[in-house]
Structure 1
Amino acid sequence: MSDSKKEPMASKTDNRQVVMKIQEIQAKSIVNKSNLPIAGFSVNPYVGCPHACRYCYASFMKRFTNHSEPWGTFLDVKNWPPISRPEKYQGKTIILGSVTDAYHPLEERYGRTRMFLEQMQGSRANLILTTKSDLILRDLELIRTFPDPLVAWSINTLDERFRADMDSAATIGQRLAAMKTFHDAGIRTTCFISPIFPVVTDVFSIIERVKQRCDYIWLENLNLRGEYKSVILDYIKSQHSDLLPLYEDIYLKKENRYWGQLDTQVASYAESNGYLYLVAEEPFQKRKPIKPIIINYFYHERIRQSEKISKLSEQ
């Protein structure tokens, strides 16, 4: 592990500036087995993320990496041994950026994500890349050398003010433009509407905005736990006080009816507009679909069961 250093880092999209603690660390391997249903392996070239999303579930990584600093103020830059026999990952699915954004602004300096892509040339691995950045445009030609890669951008609002309140990542406009560039280049793209803030996130407006530039639309609910639960509830109380009772029902009383209702609304919208609507599935078809495939990841069975119990209690 190298000595850490501290340096100011300004957001590219607002006036916030934080002091980042940066250090290089040695990893035993960069490719690890994944429990995610959509990928057998994961790659995270960094620990931490300068995007500092206030709702980030990956902040749990602090517990395992000896970091006491606030999420978004530290970055561990990984070094790793050369990947032996990259071809052993042929046909395997690797998700790049499951607990970090592999294209956060400091990737431009340290280049660990690009180094991984270069080391995996010829492997014929299936890549899924998730990001909130347009820096990924730098690697478009490298990414397209992999068989049928899939690139997903997280977008949970079209309101730049709300976006700036929640993260220091690229603007929504920058994400949409990058998505279109990849889509026009024939690379499969996903709009990951996540996390969906009840009422605040207008799912249908986002779908209408992205439908010509993506092949999949993933939906995921806001899940509050750990230290950021109170952060988000305090934000709602301050900025959307009229919604506080709803958020308390969902996140304090564990009432999931809102998600069941939204599921019904999305299903109706999809049927009316000719979209394939799936629940907790991922077809990953090789051919680009004519219309985006909408996929719901609302912890569906649990929510439907909860809603059923709630309805029975009213009878």
Structure 2
Amino acid sequence: MEIQEIEVNSFLTKSKSFDHVFNPYRGCMHRCKYCYAHYMKDYTQHKEAWGDYVDVKKIKRYHIPKNAKRIMLSSVTDPYQPIEAKYKVTRNALKHLIGFSGTVSILTKSKLVTRDIDLFKQMEHVEVGMSIATVDEKFRRIMEEGASPIKERMEALKKIHDAGITTYVFVAPMLPKLTNYKEIIRESKPYVDYYMFDTLRLKGENKTWVMEEIKKHAPTLLPLYQQIYNQGKRHYFELLSKQIEEFCIQEKVEYQLFF
């Protein structure tokens, strides 16, 4: 693992999707094979494989634009990946967000997020989400090698929810025929305020990695994945979106679809 500290002038980055984002690290130790953020290597010039390097940001100035309404942690890294336990870049940033009148939205795959409940309680508007793509722990270890086990993520959500903090689950990426969204909802429903859903998006290296794992561990699904990602046939996700809507209405849970 290649780790280095880098000085950066900016705290927040303007984003079309999230208003403003804060990425405390470049790179991620979770090594998720499907991660779209591997393209960041094109900008950082890292020769190491995705998951084998992390740049730790040393923030010079914590400036929050007056027009900022929503701040997302994070968009191309995990703010609570294992290295955060040592460097506390995320925790230090959160201290500067106390008093911010907008919404702070956090998304992670790590149980470490519970460490900062004391700071969340001091914020006006904060929500904490867990990204969950599968409840199959064996498959989780294949696809998300360095992330927290699903059971620990569920326990973290419950602890945060019990502390009076808004929680959500980002059911994503939805791997065709492998993401059991019904089971995820049924298991987490008592301590989750709302759900978001997004599809598996494959391009470049992550497409190669995921296809290799499907061929190795779920070969009967390979034709379906080839239809979707090689031939561009989207019927599967069109049907899935309708099924998700019906189930969420049935279960009386709030939801947002991004496909």
Fold-level match, TM-score > 0.5? yes
Q: Give matches, 1:180-219, under 5 Å.
A: 180-219=158-197
Q: Is the 8 A contact 2:71 2:105 kept in 1?
A: yes
Q: Give matches, 1:89-238, under 5 Å.
A: 89=66, 92-167=69-144, 168-238=146-216
Aligned to 2:8: 27
User: Within the alignment, does 1:53 sit opposite 2:18 as a pair?
Assistant: no
Read off the aligned partner of 2:23 and give its amino acid letter. Answer: N
Cα-Cα RMSD: 1.3
The separation in 2 between residues aligned to 1:166 and 1:297, in whole angstroms, is 22
Alignment partner of 2:257 out of 296, 304, 309: 296
Aligned to 1:288: none
Read off the aligned partner of 2:72 and give its amino acid letter. Answer: I
Deviation of 1:148 (Å): 2.2
User: Within the alignment, does 1:68 sit opposite 2:47 as a pair?
Assistant: yes
The separation in 2 between residues aligned to 1:104 and 1:95, in whole angstroms, is 16
Structure 2 runs not aligned, ≥5 long: none
The separation in 1 between residues aligned to 2:250 and 2:85, in whole angstroms, is 43
TM-score by length of 2: 0.96
Q: Is the 8 A contact 1:47 1:100 kept in 2?
A: yes
In the TM superposition, structure 1's runs of 4+ consecutive aligned residues that sit over 4 Å from their partners are 88-91
Deviation of 1:268 (Å): 2.2
Deviation of 1:89 (Å): 4.6
Structure 1 runs not aligned, ≥5 long: 1-19, 276-291, 299-315
Greater C-alpha Rg = 1
Which SS does the other structure have where 1:50 is aligned? coil
Deviation of 1:91 (Å): 6.3
Read off the aligned partner of 2:75 and give its amino acid letter. Answer: S
The separation in 1 between residues aligned to 2:70 and 2:168, in whole angstroms, is 16
State the number of aligned residues: 258
Aligned to 2:226: 248
Identity between Structure 1 and Structure 2 (%): 38
The separation in 2 between residues aligned to 1:227 and 1:44, in whole angstroms, is 22
Q: Is the 8 A contact 1:89 1:123 kept in 2?
A: no
Deviation of 1:231 (Å): 1.1
Q: Is the 8 A contact 1:91 1:124 kept in 2?
A: no
Aligned to 1:307: none
Aligned to 1:6: none
Cα offsets for 1:158-217 (capped at 9, x unmatched)? 111000001111010110000011111111111111001100111111111111111111
Deviation of 1:77 (Å): 0.5
The separation in 2 between residues aligned to 1:89 and 1:44, in whole angstroms, is 19
Deviation of 1:90 (Å): 7.5
Cα offsets for 1:222-272 (capped at 9, x unmatched)? 001011101111111111111111000000000000011111212222333
Read off the aligned partner of 1:82 and give its amino acid letter. Answer: R
Change in 2 beyond 3 A, CA 1:140/1:90: farther
Which SS does the other structure have where 2:191 is aligned? coil
The separation in 2 between residues aligned to 1:272 and 1:216, in whole angstroms, is 14
Q: Is the 8 A contact 2:19 2:68 kept in 1?
A: no
Which SS does the other structure have where 1:76 is aligned? strand
The separation in 2 between residues aligned to 1:256 and 1:179, in whole angstroms, is 32
Read off the aligned partner of 1:77 and give its amino acid letter. Answer: V
The separation in 2 between residues aligned to 1:272 and 1:92, in whole angstroms, is 33
Q: Is the 8 A contact 1:90 1:124 kept in 2?
A: no
Higher RCO (CA 8 Å, separation ≥ 6 residues): 2
